[in-house]
Chain A
Amino acid sequence: MDNKFEAVMDFISQSGHAGKDTYLNYVTNETNDDNTAVLTSGAGKVITSYVDGACLINLPFEIRQIKPHSKDSNVYSNSDAMEEVQSFMDWINEQGKARNFPDFGEGCTIQSMATPKTAKTPNLIGLTESEDAAIYVFPIEIIFLERK
Chain B
Amino acid sequence: MDQLMLRYEGKNFYEIPDGEITRMEGFKTLSENATPEEYSRKYVDRKSQTNDVVGYTTVLDFELDRFVGNAVHDDIVDLHEKKVVGVAARRNIYYVDFTQPSGDGYKAFMVPCSVVMSNKGNTAEAMTYSGSFKEAGETVFGIAKIATPANGNCDTVQTITFEESAESDI
Contacts and interface: CB of A to CB of B under 8 A. Distances in A.
B162 to A, nearest CB: 17
B67 A111 contact: yes
A50 B65 CA distance: 9
Given A53-B8, A53-B155, A107-B156, A145 B67 contact: yes
A56 B65 contact: yes
Interface residues of B, number: 22
Contacts of B6: 53
Contact of A52 (B24, B67, B68): B24
A52 B65 contact: no
B11 interface: yes
A148 B25 contact: no
A97 to B, nearest CB: 11
Interface in A123-148: 145, 147-148
B26 interface: yes
B67 A51 contact: no
B29 interface: yes
A106 interface: yes
A147 B27 contact: no
A106 B6 CA distance: 23
Given A56-B65, A147-B156, A51 B23 contact: no
Interface string A104-126: 00110101000000000000000
Contacts of A53: 6-9, 11, 155
Interface string B1-44: 00000111101100000000001111111100000000000000
Contacts of B65: 48, 50, 56
A52 B23 contact: yes
B129 to A, nearest CB: 14
* 9 closest cross-chain pairs (CB), A and B: A53-B8, A51-B30, A148-B155, A52-B11, A51-B27, A51-B7, A50-B27, A52-B8, A54-B25
